[in-house]
Amino acid sequence: MKIINFLSSVAMPMVILFIVIYGVKEKNKVFDTFLDGAKEGIKTTLSILPTLIGLFLAIGALRSSGILELIMKISSPILEIINFPKELMPLSILRPISGSGSIAIATDIMKNYGVDSLIGNIASTIMGSTETTLYTIAVYTSCIKIKKTRYILLAALVADITGIIASNIICKIIY
């Protein structure tokens, strides 16, 4: 338990330290470079703002209208069999489809159930360990005009489902 906490908390400082030392070693203007990158960060964040507004509207409506609860109620008997929390089902479905959509729904879940709660931690782990699979496959195959994809979607989705179930199990063990 202690070692897990240590690894989690040492990772970020180590990466920053390593990169800065590496930059200094290669005689780069480290701070100027940092500023260039940080300016890009402003652009990236502001560029997702319109997407977030649209998605928060849709996801907020799903929750406040009561339909999300209805869907969770209907699907809970199936999810109970594999011991998967029904609160995370909407995130699990949206995760492979839309990057900004899953950011919006994960934030919504963490806010509603508590960011440090078990549900919040599982949602975070799902977000960290899976990718916007459909988007990635579309970009990588369409750039070279591939038509036959040989069940790659199946392989990638199996990996995503594994990641989602693994996040659930690991968080239940650790937290």
Partner 1 sequence: MLNIVWPIFIIISFSYAIFSGNLENLNNSIFESTNSAIKLSIDLLGSMCLWSGIMQIASKTTLIENLTKLLNPLLNFLFPKLKENKKIKKEVSMNIIANILGLGNAATPLGLKAMKSMQEENKNKETLSDTMMMFIVVNTASIQLIPTTVIAIRNSLGSQNPTSIIFPTWISTIIAAVIGITVTKIIIKLTRGEKNK
Chain centroid to Cα 2, Å, comes to: 25
Rule CB under 8 A: is residue 45 a binding residue for partner 1?
yes
Min dist. Cβ of residue 145 to partner 1 (A): 8
The 25-44 contact track toward partner 1, x by CB under 8 A, reads -x-x-x--xxxxxxxxxx-x
| 5 binds partner 1, rule: CB under 8 A | yes
Residue 89 contacts partner 1 per CB under 8 A: no
**How far is residue 49's CA from residue 145's CA, in Å, rounded to a whole number?**
31
> Do 68 and 62 form a contact (C-beta atoms < 8 A)?
yes
Site pattern 91..130 for partner 1 (x: CB under 8 A): ---x--xx-xx-xx-xx--xx---xx---xx--xxxxxxx
Stretch that binds partner 1, among 57-65, 72-80, 81-89 (CB under 8 A): 57-65
DSSP states of 25-39:
HTT--HHHHHHHHHH
Nearer to partner 1, 27 or 77 (CB): 27
* Residue 45, CA atoms < 13 Å, CB-side half-sphere: 6
Residue 74 in the binding site for partner 1 (CB under 8 A): no
- Closest by CA to 56, choosing from 115, 92, 107, is 107
Nearer to partner 1, 58 or 74 (CB): 58
Number of other residues whose CB lies within 10 A of the CB of residue 67: 11
- Give the three-state DSSP class for 115: coil
What track of x and - describes contact with partner 1 for positions 140 through 169 (by CB under 8 A)? xx-xxxxxxxxxx-xxx-xxx-xx--xx--
